[in-house]
Structure 1
């Protein structure tokens, strides 16, 4: 132990909220929310580990706020008045967080009437008078008033030299001293309070002086020396806004100075000597972890407890890596400006010794970027070819595992045997103590799952980018979220292209046949770039208000969707083949009828030939030519002609639908059946739709027509295994329900609460009568309005004149004024901020909403109106998906499989005998998915059906 005492004071309150926003909702075995408790426990664990590795503290305590009321409220009743109440599910976690602190055998200190900052100041001053150094573990700007101060007088008897105070920001792994405070505020720490008094604090509702920001406040204090002198200087200023503000705001500034002043003479509730850090006994911690079901942490504790006498080291990996030079190198943080990508520095790992060295460093770093190279883009069937890791800029490696070609006589390079590498990598890739960053990491999860590795916990740079920048364009660089685009946009670096490594066309070779040196450059660069992107993008989440949607909606969904992809769904090949034959016969028949109506044979799939037939030869009106000089024959044009009585147009529409369904589904689904599983495994993208909806590809299962007889025939081919059934759970009219809530429409709310037919209610409100026709029109209007439809668009859908359509729109807004107010406020916000936002904080950017190009502008406006509603709907079903399997597990239904997500519907496979038990669980999870983050004023209706096919489940 060092001769000089060193006290660490942990600002526990900041840890709590960081922990809460870091993890998805969790509950303990008793059903109590414990997500923040778990996050807080892991953060405190990491702090203890990190300090133990360094020249750690001799004394340590966690300081918490006792309540939201303090002596400052007596000075200023509005102090912290604007702070929202803590989230409903966080409140019951506060006492458990105190229990967690005590489980580490650490003092947990709080005092009624004072804030944690005042206790920290009092303890810090008292300790420095004893000659102790003090480190405040926080990033709170108010506490920076204390930084760099060293006790010089009023020292305790026998103390020759006072101690000094600094700060540790664990989020940035940065020490903050006097120079860092001066750089941040432009004044030394002892003057920070004066700056804060002038600029105020909107979070704590410290008034300051209106119109004076940080830069002006810093300049005034730096030039005048202190607050009083800065205020006095106003008398000598020339007439200006600043002079007026200083003169008028003097009293508020002086009051603010009292509010930001840290009270440093509180009677200490726990003696400094009682904060002595004598180690962390494992028994109380083990009991706490067991009580709350934190099994992964309990395993870590047991794995590291070599004997009952062990009291300090909480990191089992440290037993193997402590003191190794590579460990400290692996734990380094990237400098603010990263060095250019240098592929020559990457290591090709070809021995177990070097592989273990990288794994040890990764355990010490606690963050590793991971990427896999495989034999196919199909992650369900792909063979693992290699793994790359990165621990910092240019600090990356590639571990080849399947190189050398398929020819048994081909020369294979030196490689770690696949089975040995997998067994050695598995503890790292599954460790809760190490965060794995990836780019589209769902792919890597599935590739590694084939080898028994459950990759986690994970961050995904692609999804982080999407959650902040969906729809945004950047200086001529595409607004996509692939690695190449992100590297160009954020790093200014062009990555190696796959085609440059493997070639294209007939000359393309498998990645496993790429020479090792070249493969290392390509694969390790992917991990290196991912590490850099994660370092740059992850901190932006909090700064830009996107933490909530990433941590509580999208990130926890990654392993859920990966598992759904691995499950796949069974299809009846014979049924599909029969449908393909029927569709081929019907398209041939339609082709003959179309040629007969045209008076000649032509290629129906050729827009040019079709346009010439319709408008030149047959003389139909309404043809319009594009820039290419050929007629448009899109669906809208053909539907318009069909409405005018053009039989050939309707038959072309029918022909197109059958041809598309045959090629896209009945033929393609047969080709997509995995020979190993006998099932179809679609690939879901979490960044495929700008509003946050999942999209499906290879094959796309989301565009099968729902209401047509042909679409139902295709759904009949989706079947369960023998003895099972498919269960479909569908949100009923969720977007209309959300519109009723978000637009605050009492009439629609009442209808949903009463369980009425919403379209009939709308018809009654709009047309004064309800029949088949008015209900159908009301249904069209209900949905069309939410998509910002124009008078011409509605006229086209209802088959009426634009003036009549406008009258319907006007009546709708008169009957439901909240919807018009919502549309106006949404558009105004998007024009001002550039983005819309869902109830869960998902942003969608609309850079063209102020475009001078009318079509672009109006298109953006229509999308912006719908994005908050459709995006909130997407967020809700995602939250349901994340919670679904834990709820089914808890009900003893862990064998139920969630297979598909299609728009507002979830599809499950389960034994027929479990339907009555599983149905209510599924319905409850879906109905409560918005809670506790958002409490809707309308119920979420769920319709559930089951049967021997997907169609029968409806």
Structure 2
């Protein structure tokens, strides 16, 4: 379940300022609050990482002092003193610090940070997320009425819920606003009622219910100062109630999904700390950040000059465009980038194209600026058709190298306009092939890492939230600075990364595997696959009924209704109400109910909660499949093509495997009936069929080759069932139980599983699991040698390699933290095998198009790649011929670069749908 942390940045800032002495940075600027803020934010990140950390996080700050509350009461916060003189210049530095952590820093004119926090919290809760507010602010405690929300006081290191409010104020969170209104607030100058403190306010609210009821009852109260004050200051009490009420419907400046945590890249944080000269924090970064990488220096490469945005040219006439094209053709290379109306390459329209020839020699060619309103004034710019006609010969010229970053997107955009870009280099792929595992590969991070340059942010030119405009509405000067910078930075990265390929041994995997794949993936994404919306709608309806039925059964077992999707409520039911033993709590004080914990309970036949847990697992699976696939896929059908166009990332998985999003097709269950039903919705066009070609046990085959295991090689060469062979070797006999255990062990060993991990999977004791591992290594000593050699090499060099030379770096493999170190070791054991598998299927994909064309099978289209499987659509009459070509290409994909000692097996299925063919 997504878990959003909302950090009240102001509390961090003032706490840091008042706790630390007056410090200055290396430029002589006051920086004590900045230093303290960074330290506190860093500690928070560390603590959360070690506990049940967030999936999403943002820092919320106050943008301005004047809000709607000042309109209600002009004396609101009037008595608050101005910020200390030496703190004021630190505010922008603190915003920079937040962004250096690559965390969203959200603020909005006219609203207080509390209102933004309340609005984000309510929006997240509405989507079924958990929310934690990092603050001890009493006003925010009003939000603790919801079961999915709590607060974290980092100063006292404690979690706060409704009980904390009762303990502190004598009422629950639902009545806290009433109490705050009566007692007032001298800091914010909320008037309240004179003479009414927290205890009196709580007593009045407990007796009468709310402020209005207290005021209505005042005339009947015992004569005295309290009665008189309530009557005399009734209007102020009502005003105070409005002032303390949190606005929960503020338009969200940034969407919730933009707050997703994907790690904290080192480069921006290091650059920030170096700028200020925070040496002790830099030393700390050295301890927790990625290990330094041994790199060969490329001789003769001078540093590039700083980016000069004023030097970029806006091209608005044909003569200027012709000049740029002539120079590009003459020198033989050009960096390109496209600006569009959206991020969906299959629906977005071209707004402009940027080009770069040398550092600071870059331009932007607008073609559709001026907004979407037909009456809107449009700037002087070239016609799109003219620009496309002039660029097409250049971008298709085989003598001119086109350079892009994440070029797949641009290939799809330009391909829709009839341009087949070739040849090309892609800097995101270069970076991945050189430094996989060391850092991210987005342009902003690479610019900071390799060029010490901070790129213009997209929202800096378009705005964000309700004020955001489309790129087509950005004025040409700002658009040129942003767009031309993208092309300029891409060129600079290419100049840095391209020479390293040869020096660091990455040319082979780049040229033979990844670079050619960019165009292949772009073609597959453009093709898409047809999805039958009626099948999805029917499945959604069926899943809804099954989910409702499971909910009723779960509530029946519990004896009362509760929110099954709430880990806190579910944990309380399982471990407190039902008495299941072995529950473990995180730092939040909430029981863990992750899949491993639930599967542990489900495997225990004597557990009192086993029946419920099995149903909860089914409920979770169905709920996820419904929301992620049967519901979402219907909205993802492109109205123009009637097909779904997934997006593949060549840099999404550290080992080199492709990953897919929008929709993610990697997570559809493979061997369940429910998964097959979803695959049934992926269908062929009339007259066509779907063909699925799946490598059979490719990772085990590669393990037999790489680890040199004669027994496994012989089994594969003889076409034996490998799990039967393993069962015979380990248990001396083959039956359903021993084969199932052998299968689990075969795959688990390749993932570096521990005795405890295997014990959990096989439902045996750790000692029994260790005995099986020992027996496995005794029967297959090559596997044991492979694991030992791989770990030794990875610890010496910091990386592993595939048979094709793909490096995967493991900077934490020597980490002092045992969990981090063990995780890196497990990944390192698997990386050469899984990475080689990924390389092989990529090589098959690259060769597939030419092989099918040579066979005259021009109507066979490769549509999807999912794990070890390729999915095609083709005419029914081409099945036999295509099957032979596809099988041959896949079985020989490693050759001639690598000759395997085991055959690669390919299973092919055909049917009207993916489910039928799989």
TM-score range, shorter chain: 0.5 to 0.7
Q: Is 1:673 the counterpart of 2:633 in the alignment?
A: no
In structure 1, what is the Cα distance between the partners aligned to 2:847 and 2:858? 13
Give 2:451's aligned residue: 491
Q: Residue 334 of structure 1 contacts residue 392 of structure 1 at CA under 8 Å; is this kept in 2?
A: no
For residue 808 of structure 2, give the secondary structure of its aligned residue in structure 1: strand
Matched, 1:430 2:390: no
Report the Cα distance in structure 2 between the residues aligned to 1:334 and 1:851, rounded to whole angstroms: 36
Q: Number of aligned pairs?
A: 617
Q: How does 1:134-173 map to 2 (within 5 A)?
A: none
Aligned pairs for 1:595-610 (under 5 A) are 595-610=555-570
Distance in 2 between residues matched to 1:894 and 1:836, nearest whole Å: 39
Of 549, 571, 577, the match for 1:589: 549
Query: How many angstroms apart in 2 are the aligned matches of 1:758 and 1:620?
Result: 39
Give the corresponding residue for 1:649: 613
Q: Who is 1:451 aligned against?
A: 417
Corresponding position of 1:66: none
Deviation string 1:865-905 (CA, Å, 9 cap, x unpaired) is 00000000000000000000100000000221000000000
4+ residue runs of structure 1 moved beyond 6 angstroms?
A: none
Report what 1:394 is aligned to: 360
- SS at 1:556 equivalent: helix
Residue matched to 1:23: none
Matched, 1:730 2:713: no
Paired residue for 2:853, among 865, 879, 889? 889
Structure 1 match to 2:870: 906
The equivalent residue for 1:841 is 805
Say if 2:503 is the partner of 1:543: yes
1:827, 1:336 → 2: CA distance?
37
The superposition leaves residues 338-381 of structure 1 with CA deviations (integer Å, 9 ceiling, x where unpaired) of: 10011111000000110110000110121110000011101111
The offset of 1:591, in angstroms, is: 1.1
Alpha-carbon distance in 1 for matches of 2:750, 2:464: 45
Tell me what 1:624 maps to. 584
Using the alignment, how far apart are the partners of 2:354 and 2:457 within structure 1? 16
Corresponding residue for residue 793 of structure 2: 829
Greater mean deviation of Cα atoms: 624-633 or 567-576? 624-633
1:567-578 equivalent positions in 2, closer than 5 A: 567-578=527-538
Tell me what 1:90 maps to: none
Distance 1:522 1:749 in 2: 56
Q: Distance in 2 between matches of 1:600 and 1:626?
A: 26
- Matched with 1:369 is 335
Determine whether 1:696 maps to 2:656.
Answer: no
Q: Which residue does the alignment assign to 2:194?
A: none
1:519 aligns with 2:519: no
SS in 2 for 1:907: strand
1:39-87 Cα distance to aligned partner (Å, 9 max, x none): xxxxxxxxxxxxxxxxxxxxxxxxxxxxxxxxxxxxxxxxxxxxxxxxx
- Which of 468, 477, 481 matches 2:434? 468
Instruction: Quote how far apart the aligned CAs of 1:933 are.
Output: 0.3
Residue 467 (structure 2) pairs with residue 507 (structure 1): yes
Alignment of 1:11-22 (within 5 A): none
1:751 and 1:699 map into 2 onto residues whose CA distance is: 38
CA distance in 2, matches of 1:465, 1:563: 23
Q: How does 1:550-565 map to 2 (within 5 A)?
A: 550-565=510-525
Moved more, 525-534 or 501-510: 501-510
**Alignment check: 8 A CA contact 1:839 1:934 kept:** yes
SS at structure 1 position matched to 2:398: coil
Q: Greater shift after overlay, 592-601 or 479-488?
A: 592-601
Aligned-partner SS, 1:537: helix
Alpha-carbon distance in 2 for matches of 1:686, 1:794: 32
**1:533 aligns to what?**
493
SS where residue 899 of structure 1 aligns?
Answer: strand
Of the structure 1 ranges 333-342 and 433-442, higher mean CA displacement relative to structure 2 is found in: 333-342
Report deviation, 1:854.
0.4
* Structure 1 position 613 matched with structure 2 position 573: yes
Equivalent in the alignment of 2:176: none
Is 1:811 aligned with 2:769?
no
Corresponding position of 2:597:
637
Which whole-Å CA distance do the structure 2 matches of 1:508 and 1:599 have between them? 49
SS of residue in 1 equivalent to 2:682: coil
**1:249 paired residue number:** none
**Alpha carbons 1:576, 1:670 under 8 Å: kept:** yes
- The residue number in structure 2 matching 1:879 is 843
Instruction: Give CA deviations for 1:265-294 in whole Å, capped at 9, x if unaligned.
Output: xxxxxxxxxxxxxxxxxxxxxxxxxxxxxx
Question: Does structure 2 retain, via aligned residues, the 8 Å contact 1:611–1:632?
Answer: yes
SS in structure 1 of the partner of residue 683 of structure 2: coil
Deviations 1:513-542 (A, max 9, x none): 011110000000000000000000110000
* C-alpha distance in 2 between matches for 1:743 and 1:642: 36
Counterparts of 1:778 and 1:649, CA distance in 2: 27
RMSD of equivalent CA atoms: 1.2
Tell me the SS of whatever aligns to 1:795.
helix
Q: What 5-or-longer segments of structure 2 have no aligned partner?
A: 1-295
Conserved? CA contact 1:745–1:816, under 8 Å: yes
- 1:784 is matched with which residue: 730, 745, 748? 748
Q: Which runs of 5+ in 1 are unaligned?
A: 1-213, 215-332, 473-478
1:795 correspondence with 2:755: no
Q: State how far apart, in whole Å, the 1-side matches of 2:586 and 2:316 are.
A: 59
2:673 maps to 709
8 A Cα contact 1:565 1:899, kept in partner = yes
> Which residue number in structure 2 is paired with residue 305 of structure 1?
none
Separation of aligned partners in 2, 1:462 and 1:365: 23
Paired with 1:408 and 1:504, the residues of 2 have a C-alpha distance of 24
Match for residue 784 of structure 2 among 806, 820, 832: 820
Partner of 1:939: 903
Question: Aligned-pair distance for 1:649?
Answer: 1.0
Match of 1:403 among 346, 365, 369: 369
Q: Secondary structure at the match of 1:766?
A: helix
Instruction: Look up the match of 2:14.
Output: none
SS in 2 for 1:570: strand
**How far, CA to CA, are the matches of 1:606 and 1:780 in structure 2?**
31
- What's the offset of the Cα at 1:335? 6.3
Residues 19-30 of structure 1 correspond to what in structure 2 (within 5 A)? none
- What is the CA–CA distance in structure 2 between the aligned matches of 1:435 and 1:629, rounded to whole Å? 57
Tell me, yes or no, if the aligned pair for 1:784 and 1:794 is still in contact at 8 Å.
yes
What residue in structure 1 maps to residue 714 of structure 2? 750
TM-score, normalised to structure 2's length? 0.67
| Alignment partners' CA distance in 2, 1:804 and 1:783 | 18
Question: Per-residue deviation at 1:334?
Answer: 10
After superposition, residues 41-60 of structure 1 pair within 5 angstroms as none
Match of 1:663 in 2: 627
Aligned to 2:345: 379
C-alpha separation in 2, matches of 1:863 and 1:444 = 33
For residues 760 and 484 of structure 2, the distance between their equivalents in structure 1, rounded to whole angstroms, comes to 55
Q: Distance in 2 between matches of 1:334 and 1:387?
A: 31
Once residues 465 and 646 of structure 2 are traced to their aligned partners in structure 1, the CA distance between those partners, rounded to angstroms, is: 25
Q: Distance in 2 between matches of 1:609 and 1:395?
A: 60
Find the aligned partners of 1:948 and 1:468 in 2 and give their Cα distance. 42
CA 1:334/1:392 → structure 2, altered by over 3 Å: closer, same or farther?
A: farther
What is the distance in 2 between the residues matched to 1:512 and 1:606? 43
**Correspondence for 2:730 among 766, 772, 782:** 766
Match of 1:237 in 2: none
